Chain A
Amino acid sequence: MKVLVIDDEPEILRSLETYLSLRDYDVLTARSAQEGRELYADEDVKLILLDINMPETSGLVLLREIKNLDHTTEVIMMTGYNSLDKTLESRELGATEYLLKPFSDMEEVASTVDQAAARIERWQEALRDGLREQRRDREDENG
């Protein structure tokens, strides 16, 4: 599954790219909200790790845009302790979860991402079932 990681710190991007690739994710990275916005528009991405504090455009602004475009996209926010208040705001905007930086438990990072991926898969499966059913109904109607 594709996962898009957006953070202005290149070393965080690199380390998370390796970490998630080792866990069989197809990782895309973006160094700014703008880069992330473009990748999100071009690629079929449903799972995003998004840093809250970024220069120019904050992660919260991008979160709002993404959720307006597709509320089923799973967005996991990354934040430092200083920005916990923003974390609550991100929850209200529809973020799935948050990860506190620096990460204290890497298993938590993995399980948060895995659970979001599982939700997407369930959602897509339900969608496929629905489409299949519609098609069957249509075929029945047409004899």
Chain B
Amino acid sequence: MGDSSEHQFDPYDEVSSLVRGVAHEINNPMTFIRTNAENLDLLVRELKQHLREFPEEDPEEMSVSEIESGIDDALNGIRKGIGRINKVVDDFRDLATGGTEFVEIDLEDLVDTAVELGGFTVENLGSMTVEYDDGVRGCTVSGNKMKLEKTIINLLSNAAHAIEDRFGRSPSNQSGRVAVTVERTGGDGAPTARIAVSDNGTGVPSDLEDKIFSPFVTTKEQGRGTGLGLSQSLSIAREHGGDLRLEESEQEEGATFVLEIPLRTGKSKSSKEGEAET
């Protein structure tokens, strides 16, 4: 079906471009607030070294350790605030870019782009492999590209965090392994793209396995995850008629998350232009 709504006034588009504009404007101040908070932290650490050289005398005054813990609390408060603002901006941006419009997306392009963008977090921790089953070559899915990309990037970022939690982050330690496999399942009746992201990180704690897709449940230390990533990702998967689940998890061995999205039956790359499927 062709698009005949060119240049029509759409209030959704108006709000959406406004929100994107605001999100863009907030990016820069957020960047320097975040960087300055880190600078303060580093400078205060330096200051603490100097303070330790002074004897603590007057019991009426605040002790050095009290000042230190006050500064730490203040910095944590700033970080938390930034995290929350980031989150609000992200949510609004999702709302603005989400829309209801689904387009035909080449599956390999989708996964390649997400891996290109999200794989960066993994690269510094070890190695990553991406494998495509022959059955998915040239296949397409119908959906919102940005949302689906974000879902895969989120899985990769979770994998990176789990690896970092297990092995730590240092250039000399490259023990992290992430494998992304893309397969076709569901037979001809309901062909499905199965995108599995496996890591050798800490795994999901067994008491959280049932709850991990609920909002605000996180295994990450404070300030690193909002706890909304997997619940949002699950709703994105469902919006696309698919699913997201934790397939396997072993403590201190790793986890596998699987994203499933229905495949369109048409092929893309070779026949993208010529095919007139509905």
* Residues of the B chain whose Cβ atoms lie less than 8 Å from the Cβ of A103: 31, 34-35
Q: A88-B113, A88-B116, A111-B124 are in contact. Are A19 and B39 (CB under 8 A)?
A: yes
Q: A105-B224, A115-B171 are in contact. Are A82 and B36 (CB under 8 A)?
A: no
**14 pairs of residues in contact across A and B, judged by CB atoms under 8 Å:** A14-B32, A19-B38, A19-B42, A22-B42, A22-B43, A80-B23, A80-B24, A82-B23, A87-B117, A102-B33, A106-B38, A111-B169, A112-B124, A118-B171
- Please give me the residue from chain A that is nearest to B46 by CB atom: A22
Mask: chain A, 87-98; 1 = CB below 8 Å from B; 0 = not = 110010000011
Is B27 an interface position by the 8 A CB rule? yes
* Residues of the A chain whose Cβ atoms lie less than 8 Å from the Cβ of B113: 88
Query: Which residue among A82, A87, A91, A105 has the maximum number of chain B CB atoms within 10 Å of its CB?
Result: A105
In the bound complex, CA of A16 to CA of B31 (Å): 10
B residues 116-155 in Cβ contact with A at 8 Å: 116-117, 120-121, 124
In the bound complex, CA of A11 to CA of B29 (Å): 8
Asked if B39 contacts A102 (CB within 8 A), the reply is: no
Q: Which 8 A-B pairs have the closest CB atoms?
A: A102-B30, A15-B35, A11-B32, A106-B38, A15-B32, A80-B27, A102-B31, A101-B31
In the bound complex, CA of A118 to CA of B29 (Å): 30
Asked if A107 contacts B169 (CB within 8 A), the reply is: yes
Is A41 an interface position by the 8 A CB rule? no
Is A127 an interface position by the 8 A CB rule? no
Interface size class of A (residues with CB under 8 A): 20 to 34
Asked if A15 contacts B24 (CB within 8 A), the reply is: no
Residues of B in contact (CB 8 Å), total 30
* Residues of the A chain whose Cβ atoms lie less than 8 Å from the Cβ of B194: none
**Least Cβ distance of B114 to chain A in Å?**
10
Asked if A12 contacts B35 (CB within 8 A), the reply is: yes
Asked if B116 contacts A91 (CB within 8 A), the reply is: yes
Is B76 an interface position by the 8 A CB rule? no
B residues 12-40 in Cβ contact with A at 8 Å: 20, 23-24, 26-36, 38-39
Q: A103-B35, A105-B224, A118-B171 are in contact. Are A97 and B116 (CB under 8 A)?
A: no
Q: A15-B35, A82-B23, A104-B86 are in contact. Are A98 and B28 (CB under 8 A)?
A: no
* Residues of the A chain whose Cβ atoms lie less than 8 Å from the Cβ of B31: 9, 12, 15, 101-103
Is B93 an interface position by the 8 A CB rule? yes
Query: Which residue among A82, A104, A112, A118 has the maximum number of chain B CB atoms within 10 Å of its CB?
Result: A104
Is A131 an interface position by the 8 A CB rule? no
In the bound complex, CA of A62 to CA of B26 (Å): 25
- Please give me the residue from chain B that is nearest to A79 by CB atom: B27
Query: Which residue among A16, A88, A102 has the maximum number of chain B CB atoms within 10 Å of its CB?
Result: A102
Asked if B120 contacts A106 (CB within 8 A), the reply is: no
B residues 24-82 in Cβ contact with A at 8 Å: 24, 26-36, 38-39, 42-43, 82
In the bound complex, CA of A19 to CA of B38 (Å): 7
Candidates B32, B34, B124; contact of A9 at CB < 8 Å: B32
Q: A15-B39, A16-B35, A22-B42 are in contact. Are A101 and B28 (CB under 8 A)?
A: yes
Asked if B171 contacts A18 (CB within 8 A), the reply is: no
Is A133 an interface position by the 8 A CB rule? no
**Least Cβ distance of A118 to chain B in Å?**
7
* Residues of the A chain whose Cβ atoms lie less than 8 Å from the Cβ of B24: 80, 82
**Least Cβ distance of A99 to chain B in Å?**
9
* Residues of the B chain whose Cβ atoms lie less than 8 Å from the Cβ of A16: 35
